[in-house]
Amino acid sequence: MQKAVPRLQELAVATVRSLAVPLIAVLLALVIGGIIIVLDGSNPLLAYEALFRGAFGSERAFGRTLEKMTPLIFSGLSVAFGFRAGLFNIGAQGQLILGAIAAAWVGYAVTGVPPILHAALALLAAAIVGGLWGAIPGALRAYTGAHEVITTIMLNYVAINITDWLSDGLMKDMSGGGVVARTPKILPSAEVGSLLGIPVGVILAVVIAAFVWWLVWRTTYGFEIRTVGLNPSAAKYAGMKVARTIVTTMILAGVLAGFGGGVETLGVVGRYQPGFNIGLGFDGITVALLGKNHPIGVIPAALIIGAMKAGSSQMQFDAKVAKEITDVIQALLLFFVAADVIIRSLIRMRVRPGEKVTLSTGWGR
């Protein structure tokens, strides 16, 4: 019993330290955002009250927040999972939209399938396509040394153009005269609905986040991922297959992002339409960093960003604040979390071993 007390104290201190930087980052972003709102000629207190009301003020508002946060959990998990192996997966956006359009195709083109099975097949297609797209930069990094930051950025543009071409060509919805570039609406059997008022997508996201935590922290493969991320040379010396770990990590990161795109298509939009998924993959970087690249930390981080997106319209309507202000606040969040030395200097907190996250281990090993 006496030994348990110091351990609980150490756990409490570690928890406070891990939460300090993200919470202060949120506070600083809101303060600076408030100053910008004042300069814009609006009342920041009224603006933030409207933002909160638009995100949590009613059952419908909270449901919209849950819808917004669901794909952010998946994209955040995708980026955070890659970070653990020392890989900067900026390609979550491309993996997500390809997963979204794959889910849309299965959702409208595959017929005669029972409801739950149909949705599962569509999500599986989204995950597979996202994983295959993630495998490309993984293989290039592992076997040619091409840095994943460059290859994933370029592949994002390829994915965007492929999905634009498909939604305005081979997969275009011609039911309304073909005026808008989009796929046909998915069948009711492929829809991902809600359970007791909670979107099924967010339930799946939380379950998968727990699974990713178990995979990273409780399995041999997860230990290999973390070892490769910390020191690939030591991992290779210890007999670990570094190249294989890099490829499989990027595949799984792509699976997570693709899954997010599939949930967005099947549970929110109901079809694939260019522009509806813009920025979700890139927002995953903010979510991952705000969540300290921890699978469980990604969930509240996605909730914060999702609430900002859900409540921005209410803030714009009630306080006459430009909707882009929420993007500025989100950018400030990313800045303060990434440049955490600023916050640590303000609160006089030193970096302990293992607290600082290395985003990428180098330009081509």
Q: How many CA atoms lie within 13 A of 61 on its CB side?
A: 17
Residue type, position 52, single letter = F
- For residue 240, how far is the Cα from the chain centroid? 28
* One pLDDT digit (tens) per residue for the chain, 365 residues: 555 556 656 555 555 666 677 788 888 888 999 999 998 888 899 999 999 999 998 888 999 999 999 999 999 999 999 999 999 999 999 999 999 999 999 999 999 899 899 999 999 999 999 999 999 999 999 999 999 999 999 999 999 999 999 999 899 988 877 788 899 999 999 999 888 888 899 999 999 999 999 999 999 999 999 999 999 999 998 899 999 999 999 999 999 999 999 999 999 989 999 888 888 888 999 899 888 889 999 999 999 999 988 988 888 888 888 878 888 887 888 787 766 666 666 666 555 555 555 555 554 44
- Cβ within 8 Å of residue 143, ≥6 positions away: 243
- Count of CB atoms situated within 10 Å of the CB of 58: 11
Closest CA to 161 of 147, 176, 180, 181: 181
| pTM exceeds 0.85, yes or no | yes
User: What angle (nearest 5°) sits at the alpha carbon of residue 179, between those of residues 175 and 185?
Assistant: 40
- pLDDT, one tens digit per residue, over 316-346 is 888 888 878 888 887 888 787 766 666 666 6
Confirm if 78 and 94 have CB atoms less than 8 A apart.
no
Rounded Cα distance, 54 and 57, in Å: 6
The sign one gets for the Cα dihedral 111, 135, 80, 333 is negative
Domains, the chain, with CATH or none? 12-346 (1.10.3470)
Rounded Cα distance, 12 and 128, in Å: 40
